[in-house]
Chains A and B, each alone.
Chain A
């Protein structure tokens, strides 16, 4: 959909089971809160928008998975996703393919790259191969790979150049 990458910076918060907070500071400001089955989007000075997750069951599955991932709830994860792991203790990758048929039409997988006890990147691979990659922890503050291509960012996530 885009012909170049869009970079956004902000903060991701895990607020307990089923509750997530995401704040974008740049290039626009947005606060997303997910709690009690409601997604609240607050952008700049606009009126906050609310979406009930029950209206969008596939989104609910996705967010449930994401929150289970951050909360380390393996049982909940296995209910909503097919898990495949690869790599070793230092550089591992976890691939979560949604088990919900409707969600699979939209999202191929959530891929988590990490090393040791830390996750480095969360990538959401859409069914049409668009990718949004969230770099977290130390990667978030490291300089972005040059040139900013999907390949370079992915290799940074796998403990490549950027980490050095």
Chain B
């Protein structure tokens, strides 16, 4: 494998291999954007329910729409035409805008009202009740309400449709102006529920495009009105596009910077191209490994993975900077290999911590980086030296490098410096203004804060129920849930009276149990009896003879109906609500009641104790926090193991406690300093900070390893400095850019790693062993 032709053959084979792997993975790999794969795995039943609700629950399928930017009457008009157009779209299961809708029960379900209504539970329908109702209708017809009531009067003289509509109306209504929902900020509000789950970016993207197109179609050319969309589905789509967009332009900028840096450092275009080969191999190996192990790759893994793999760029840089005259590239790399191998092994071990986290996204990240680092490292060792050109510039001769080296060497290295830094870090950690850990799951999702606030504002304006609490009613089957929920309804009413909550919605609010429906059915009068009652009740009233025939027909139909089950009810809008409130899991049925205006969660304790936990409060925030806490405990454990392994690796590599200490001490102190600076700046630590700290520690290990190496050769010392400077600047190029990202997760990583690179570099110089080479050049 010597000579020019051999070099080119190897190079060609390498490139062909890369291209074919690229073609294969581009063909097979699917990119997913389910944010849950970046959330901790669920352990308890409550946590599982939480994750399910986050992804597929009715709440996650809701899109909140707000129309603003015109006069109130025009906005209301738009809201009406827009929502009726959207209702035609099969992608949406429900579109509501607050319009009064007497058709809440569709035509075929109307006779069921006599099984659903509680009006005749205490006093059965008889002549006296009917007479009182009819007298009231006479009065209604003489009042302003007449126009409203007339269309339904013949069929429904006791107004059961109205009573049901009232009973079913949301416990806390949004503001209504001009007949439709408005926010206090004067936007017309709509709710659209998609059939597709909230975390299906493709389906949600289609739904959102349909919403935008429909809106553009209904508004006329001169309209100034604007549409704002919010909701989990919208965030999925937006994060998807943002992640892709941001990682693309960040990647582009760092690539350009990187090219300039390498050209400046090595003054050779050929070297620049060749130096990219190990990292390209590493990246492709990473993607390939994911395609093999997992079926799909998360978009965030892809974005992070390439970023984290930046560490691997150190390997070719070390090789290029450390080449010296009279030595082939292979000889140089053999000299460097023990240190490089220590660096690669320790970085891989650090990334094992990601794998142990058990979070799919982070596990993917671990597989990606570990296989990427190994391939990049070994290709630097075995392939790159064989394709590098023979001629090169010795990095030790870089102008100005000697001066930098002398300046660094002349810096005072007081022995008390590490101790002082420890004290300062301790004070900063102690004085930090915010809680140490970020327990809020929402802080992990890369949705910008202002959009989250807008979401919160729209939810509040829509009177959407408390997203924090769910009232769980558990039973053997759906019917059992309805029966139990009827049983506890008076208890919940009592809690409302006490002021523990403002309101609650139980499943039985929308659908009584079969038993209750049958009992009501039994009490309904027969056709003859009802006609006799009507005659008696309308004596002396001016109603036309036979006017209420449709009413008599409906009652008669109701007597023969099979009671309504959730499944049969599901086709109507109200039925869709009850459907969403009943969930089957592991052979049990759960009723998901909503709570509005929680004041005293403790008050539910007695109810849970009495029902043996069948009726209990689920604190979603509590469940999500416990999820994050248990997740963090696991990750911390993994970190402890990683640190132990790392220390062992360094000791094994050096077989010398003193030397190992000189590598590990600056690394540890720098990590503590990064932590202290983050904390004093008001950051609460999230899992992403922890991940970034590990990455920075991995980079710091490289610097410490190479600076620790004593060499009598001044030129070699300058090569080490050259390599480290190129590495530090290239790392800063990538991560300082990330620190400017608009996505909180990327920002957390970028900031932490940039700080880390700075501290690690300074400390590994300032805390390096004394007695190295004297003045250089």
Contacts and interface: CB of A to CB of B under 8 A. Distances in A.
Interface in B435-465: none
A113 interface: no
Interface stretch (B32-40, B174-182, B493-501): B174-182
Contacts of B547: 1
A126 interface: yes
Most chain A CB inside 10 Å of its own CB: which residue of B138, B143, B148: B143
A3 interface: yes
A5 B141 CA distance: 12
B4 interface: no
A3 B145 CA distance: 20
Interface stretch (B239-247, B538-546, B667-675): B538-546
Given A54-B178, A55-B100, A56-B100, A3 B143 contact: no
B587 interface: no
Nearest to B141: A1
Interface stretch (A11-19, A26-34, A115-123): A26-34
Contact of A59 (B139, B144, B545): B144
Interface string A104-137: 0011000000000000000000101010100000
B264 interface: no
A62 B147 contact: yes
A95 interface: no
Interface in B141-173: 141-148, 150, 153-154
Nearest to A46: B136
Given A55-B100, A56-B100, A43 B139 contact: yes
A128 B147 CA distance: 11
A30 B141 CA distance: 12
A54 B177 contact: yes
B135 interface: yes
A128 B139 CA distance: 19
B544 A6 contact: no
B179 A1 contact: no
A104 to B, nearest CB: 11
A149 B544 CA distance: 15
Interface in B99-148: 100, 135-136, 138-139, 141-148
A3 B142 CA distance: 15
B235 to A, nearest CB: 32
Given A52-B176, A55-B176, A56-B100, A5 B148 contact: no
Contacts, number: 73
Contacts of B542: 2-6
A127 B544 CA distance: 18
Most chain A CB inside 10 Å of its own CB: which residue of B138, B142, B144: B144
A55 B179 contact: yes
Contacts of B136: 43
B142 A106 contact: no
Interface in A57-90: 57-59, 62-63
Interface string A125-154: 010101010000000000000000000000
B544 A51 contact: no
A111 to B, nearest CB: 16
B178 A59 contact: no
A120 to B, nearest CB: 19
Given A3-B543, A43-B136, A55-B179, A8 B142 contact: yes
A30 B139 contact: yes
Interface string B599-621: 00000000000000000000000
Interface string B526-544: 0000000000000000111
Given A2-B543, A5-B542, A58 B142 contact: no
Contacts of B176: 52, 54-55
A16 B545 CA distance: 42
Contacts of A28: 135, 138-139
A41 interface: yes
A56 B543 contact: no
Given A1-B547, A126-B150, A57 B179 contact: yes
A162 interface: no
Nearest to B177: A54
B162 to A, nearest CB: 11
A24 interface: yes
B447 to A, nearest CB: 34
Contacts of A5: 542
Given A3-B544, A55-B176, A126-B150, A41 B142 contact: no
Given A30-B143, A51-B145, A1 B153 contact: yes
B150 A57 contact: no
A51 B166 CA distance: 12
A24 to B, nearest CB: 7
B142 A1 contact: no
A62 B153 contact: no
Interface string A34-51: 100001010100000001
Interface string B641-668: 0000000000000000000000000000
Contacts of A55: 100, 176, 179
Given A1-B543, A56-B148, A57-B179, 20 more contacts: A2-B542, A3-B544, A6-B141, A28-B138, A30-B143, A39-B144, A39-B145, A41-B143, A43-B136, A54-B176, A55-B176, A55-B179, A56-B179, A59-B145, A103-B147, A106-B148, A107-B147, A126-B147, A128-B150, A130-B150
30 contacts: A1-B153, A1-B154, A1-B543, A2-B543, A2-B544, A3-B545, A4-B542, A5-B542, A6-B141, A8-B142, A24-B142, A28-B138, A28-B139, A30-B142, A32-B144, A39-B144, A43-B136, A43-B139, A51-B145, A54-B176, A54-B177, A56-B100, A56-B148, A59-B144, A59-B147, A106-B147, A106-B148, A106-B150, A107-B147, A126-B146
Q: When A and B form their complex, which 8 residue pairs have the shortest distance between CB atoms, in order from nearest?
A: A57-B179, A2-B542, A106-B147, A3-B544, A54-B176, A6-B542, A4-B542, A8-B142
